[in-house]
Structure 1
Amino acid sequence: MNQSAYREFCRNVPDLPVFVQDWYLDAVCKDGTWDAAVVSENGLTVGVLPYFLKRKYGFSYITMPLFVKHMGPFLLPEKRELKHENRIYGELISRLPKVDGFKQDFHPSAANWLPFFWAGYRQTTRYTYRLDIRDADRVYDGINRNMRRNIRHAETLLQVDSNGTPEELYRLNRMSFDRKGLQLPYAMEQFLAHDEALARRQARQLFFARDAEGRIHSAAHLIWDRNTAYYHIAGDDPGLRQSGSGILLTWRAIQFAADTLKLPVFDFEGSMLPEVENIRRQFGGRQIPYSRVWKDHSPLFRLINAIRP
C-alpha cells in the first residue's frame, strides 16, 4: 500500500481539494479500501492518483466513494506543466492495480486526460457551477432579479442559524430524496462519520432556516478546503418548500464563504439535472467542466455496466 507516501504528499501540497485529503478518505471510504498510485523522483513524491477499490460479485473495480465529488491525478505545483503531466500521468496509470473496471470524476484542475486516452480510457465531460466570491456585493448583483426578490421575501419569514444537529440535516436531506421517489444513497451512520471528520478539522458549517414556530424549512451542509467552499448537501421539508428557504440558505452559505472564510471560490457541486442547473445559473454560477474517465478491463464487467439501469 502507498498510503504513507500519499499522506506525506497531502502534508506537502496544501492546495489539494478536501475530497482527496487522507483524513477525508479515511472517513468516507467504507465497504472498500482506498490507496493511491504514486510517482516519486529523487525520493520525493511528485504525483499521486488516489483511488477507492471495491469488490462485489467477484469483481474488483475502482469507483467514487460516497461524499467524494472529485478524485483523479494530482501533482506537485512545480510539475503542473504539460511536459510533466503527460509523463507522470502515464506512470500513474501504469501503477494502478489490475481491476475489472475504473471510473472516476476528475477534479476540474485535471483538464488533461490525454494520457488516459492513450491508455485506452474513455471520457465524457460533466459540469459543476462555480462563483468567484472575492466580492460578495458583486455576487449579489449577479443573481437573477427574481431570485433576489425570493431571497428578500424568505428573509421576512425565516431566521437562519447554525444551531441544528447533523441528524436534523440528514432528516431533511432524506425528505428531499423521498419527495423525488429516490433512495438516499447513504445511511445516517455514514453521513455522521464523514460530518464528524469535517467538524473535527473545522472544515464544515451547518445552516438551518426556521420559521417563527421553530419549524426547520431547509438545511444545508457547507464544506471547504483552502481555496473553495462546496455546497455539499442540502434538504427541504416538502410541506414548507414554498417559503424560499432553500434559496435563502444558498445565499447565506455564499455570504459565509466570502465574508467569514475569505475564500475566493464557491462550488455548487453540480448539477447536470436541468431543474438544478437552472437555479445554479440564476445565482450567477459559471459552468466549469470536469472529466468522467472510465475503462472496463473485463468484457463481462463491461456487459454488466451496459445493461445495468
Structure 2
Amino acid sequence: MDDNKQKYRDLCEIEKIIPIFSKDWWLDAVCGDDNWDVVIIEKDGEIVASWPFYIKKSGFNVIAMPRLTQAMGIWISYPNGQKYTKRLAYEKKIFTDLIGRLPQVDMFSQNFHYSITNWLPLYWSGFQQATRYTYVIEDITDLVKVYNNFQSNIKTDIKKAQRTVNCYFDSDIDKFFNTNRLTFERQRMQMPYDIKFLKRLDAACSKRECRKIFYAQDEQGRIHAAIYIIWDEQSAYYLMGGGHPELRSSGATSLLLWKAIQFAATVTKKFDFEGSMIEPVERFFRAFGAVQKPYFSISKANRKMRVCQAVRDLGKALLKG
C-alpha cells in the first residue's frame, strides 16, 4: 500500500478538513512511519474516501488506536448538492468498499471522529459500536459569549487563580512531562507514554506550529498546572494536562483552559476538551459551557481473539473469586 500512502500524504497536504489525528505526519509521530497504513477509494484520478489505521505490534494482528490520538476513522469527499437520502446511499457504498479493502486482522478497534454519524454499514458488516463522548465549544469567535456560558464555579476558579499565579507559554517539553507525570502519580496510574514518545510528537507539532504549552506558576516558583493544546483548521484540542497534587485547589487549571480558549480563538474555530467518560472530568468540562458530542468506538474481533478474551476474563474472575 506504499502508493496509497503517498497519495494519502498528498491528500493531507491539500484537504484541510481532515482532522489532525488522521494527518499523515501525526500518524508518523504517534505510530512510526512503518506502523500505519491507509485504504483509499479513487474516482477519475482523485481520492474520494480514505481510512487510515494503526497496526499494533503484538502476538495478534491488531488494528488499534495510537497513543494520544482521540479519533481517526473514515474521510469522505461528498458530491456537491447531494441530497440526504443520496448521501446515506453514497456512504453505504463507500463504507462497504473501504471495509473490503482493510487487511485481515484478529482485532479491529478504532474511535471515529464525532463528525461521522452513520455507522450502519459497519454494523451490517459485523462490527460493534460503543458510544463515547467528548465536549466541544462549537464557536469560540465570541469570547464574551464563551465566558458568559461558563458555570459560576469555573468563573470563581479563574478569579481565584488570577490572584495567585501567573500564566505563560514555554516550549520546554521536559518540564511539561514532569508536570504531566504528577497527575498520573497522584492517581497511581502508569503513564501511557514516555518522554521519548512525547518529544517525537512535540517535535512534529512544533515543526507545523500547531501546539502551545501553557503554565501557571506562583511567586514561589511552584508550577500549579500545565496544559498542552494542539489545533487544526477546524478545532483546538486539549491534548494533555497536569498539575501539582497539593495545589489543585488554586483554580489554575480552569484559568489555563480559559487562556487556551482565548489563544485558540486566534488560530481556529472550536475548542475540543477531548472527553471524558470519567464522571468528575466530564462534570468539569461540561462546566465550561461545552456541548456534548457523541462519537463511535468501532470494534470487531475474530473467533480466535474472542476465545482468548473469554479465557482472559475467566482468569480474572477466578483470581477475584
- Do they superpose with TM above 0.5? yes
Q: Matches of 2:156 and 2:71 in 1, distance apart?
A: 34
Q: Does 1:18 align with 2:20?
A: yes
The 5 Å alignment of 1:1-309 reads 1=1, 2-30=4-32, 33-57=35-59, 59-78=60-79, 81-131=87-137, 132-163=139-170, 165-258=172-265, 260-261=266-267, 263-297=268-302, 299-306=303-310, 307=312
Q: Matches of 1:85 and 1:134 in 2, distance apart?
A: 32
SS of the residue 2:215 aligns to: strand
- Alignment identity in percent? 40
CA contact (8 A) 2:27 2:33 kept: no
Deviations 1:196-247 (A, max 9, x none): 1000000000100000122111111010000100011000011221211111
Structure 1 residue 165 displacement after superposition = 1.1
CA contact (8 A) 1:222 1:230 kept: yes
Q: Matches of 1:270 and 1:190 in 2, distance apart?
A: 22
Q: 1:61 to 1:17 in 2, by over 3 A?
A: same
Q: Matches of 2:161 and 2:297 in 1, distance apart?
A: 37
Q: Matches of 1:32 and 1:177 in 2, distance apart?
A: 30
Q: Which is further off, 216-225 or 236-245?
A: 236-245
Q: Matches of 1:31 and 1:6 in 2, distance apart?
A: 13
Structure 1 residue 164 displacement after superposition = 5.1
CA contact (8 A) 1:28 1:65 kept: yes
CA contact (8 A) 2:30 2:201 kept: yes
CA contact (8 A) 1:223 1:231 kept: yes
For these two proteins, the number of residue pairs brought into alignment is: 305
Could you state the TM-score of these two structures normalised by the residue count of structure 2? 0.91
Deviations 1:265-301 (A, max 9, x none): 100000010000000111111100100000002x231
Structure 1 residue 77 displacement after superposition = 4.5
CA contact (8 A) 1:159 1:209 kept: yes
Deviations 1:77-109 (A, max 9, x none): 437832321111110000000110100000011
Structure 1 residue 163 displacement after superposition = 2.5
In structure 1, the gaps of 5 or more residues are: none
SS of the residue 1:71 aligns to: coil
Partner amino acid, structure 2, of 1:106? F
Partner amino acid, structure 1, of 2:49? G
Q: Matches of 2:279 and 2:299 in 1, distance apart?
A: 24
In structure 2, the gaps of 5 or more residues are: 317-321
